[in-house]
């Protein structure tokens, strides 16, 4: 642990995820944020762009310089897909550790990356080294990692929801279904007609039902849990709200089991997974602004289908909060350091 606190930089701090990460890190007692970068806002005070941070930081946005970034203890990338993979090798070589919140290092296979993201991978040699940053599964590996690939919001909610069933070999692997709804902030801060208020308010829609690029990431993780290939039908939806994600997961049981006891036992010691009492349905508002996934498990009419409900804040446990959780593991801190907030209600 560095004596003067963990020196941190955030690359791409003007998007929703980068801003949320900065908000959390400014309240982290063991962290000193020393640099936030933005090519478009270089020179501008951070608090001018994000007024909620007035009085909390005097930082200005800077141009990203890999050599300067490498002098930090850890560098977070909150950049669009395809950016981090060009800069990470030089930063790692300079001695810094990296937590990437984009998808650049989540897939193990460079050809799969090219197929789903439409570009060649610039650093395929790092794909095998990168540790997938889902602490509930890879806690020990994260602690010793140089490079952590922080999972996305959809993959986090779906994998945590299915986790106990796959570990216990309780469900058929060829018919998993994930029906997931997300708030609009999951699409990022960019301007788009399709994401405008008048286009979304009072409406609800699915998108990319024929194949979403988070599918290979989710199947990769689920297959690793199951020890063999998993087939998942994944359909994302857009909700007319800012934050929150709700996943309804379906699987066919192979044998009888006490599902409530299974989930409570598996997550009993997990600080950021809450299994609700039998019969209680989770709500997205109960995780707003906090690093928590709430789960509920049902067996409708006592039949052979299990239904898991999984909710989280897409910007926190689905992105920035999970990145801070990974930071804590990498530097030997208590996992909940800087992540002890309570959800805002109503």
Omega cis (within 30) before 346: yes
- Beta strand spans in the chain (E): 6-11, 31-37, 61-62, 74-77, 97-100, 131-132, 147-149, 176-182, 205-206, 232-238, 245-252, 273-275, 293-298, 305-312
β pairing state of 74-77 and 31-37: unpaired
Look up residue 281 and give its DSSP letter: P
Which two three-digit tokens encode residue 54?
């007035």
153 is catalytic: yes
Compute the distance between CA of residue 346 and CA of residue 344 in angstroms, rounded to an integer.
Answer: 6
Cβ contact 148:338 at 8 Å: no
The pair phi, psi for residue 164, each rounded to 5°, is -65, -35
Q: Spot the catalytic one: 153, 163, 165, 238.
A: 153
Active-site residues: which are they? 153
């Amino acid at each position: 642990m560095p004596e003067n606190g963990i020196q941190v930089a955030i690359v791409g701090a003007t998007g929703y995820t980068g801003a949320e990460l900065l908000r959390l890190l400014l309240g982290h007692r063991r962290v000193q944020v020393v640099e936030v970068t933005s090519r478009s806002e270089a020179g501008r005070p951070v608090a001018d762009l994000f007024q909620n941070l007035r009085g909390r930081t005097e930082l200005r946005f800077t141009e990203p310089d890999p050599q300067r970034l490498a002098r930090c203890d850890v560098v977070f990338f909150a950049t669009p897909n395809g950016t981090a993979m060009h800069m990470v090798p030089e930063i790692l070589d300079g001695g810094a550790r990296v937590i990437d919140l984009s998808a650049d290092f989540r897939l193990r296979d460079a050809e799969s990356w090219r197929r789903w993201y439409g570009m060649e991978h610039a650093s395929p040699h790092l794909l095998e080294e990168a540790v997938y940053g889902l602490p509930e599964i890879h806690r020990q590996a994260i602690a010793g990692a140089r490079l952590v690939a922080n999972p996305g919001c959809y993959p986090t909610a779906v994998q945590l929801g299915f986790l106990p069933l796959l570990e216990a070999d309780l469900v058929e692997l060829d018919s998993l279904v994930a029906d997931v709804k997300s708030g609009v902030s999951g699409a990022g801060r960019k301007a788009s007609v399709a994401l405008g208020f008048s286009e979304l308010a009072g409406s609800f829609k699915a998108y990319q039902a024929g194949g979403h690029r988070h599918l290979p990431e989710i199947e990769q993780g689920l297959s690793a849990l199951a020890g063999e290939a998993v087939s998942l039908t994944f359909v994302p939806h857009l909700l007319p709200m800012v934050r929150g994600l709700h996943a309804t997961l379906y699987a066919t049981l192979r044998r009888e089991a006490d599902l409530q006891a299974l989930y409570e036992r598996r997550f009993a010691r997990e600080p950021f997974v809450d299994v609700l009492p039998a019969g209680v349905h989770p709500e997205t508002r109960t995780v707003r602004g906090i690093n928590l996934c709430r789960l509920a498990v049902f067996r409708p009419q006592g039949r052979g289908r299990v239904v898991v409900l999984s909710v989280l804040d897409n910007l926190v446990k689905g992105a920035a909060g999970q990145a801070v959780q990974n930071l804590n593991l990498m530097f030997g801190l208590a996992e909940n350091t800087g992540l002890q907030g309570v959800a805002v209600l109503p």
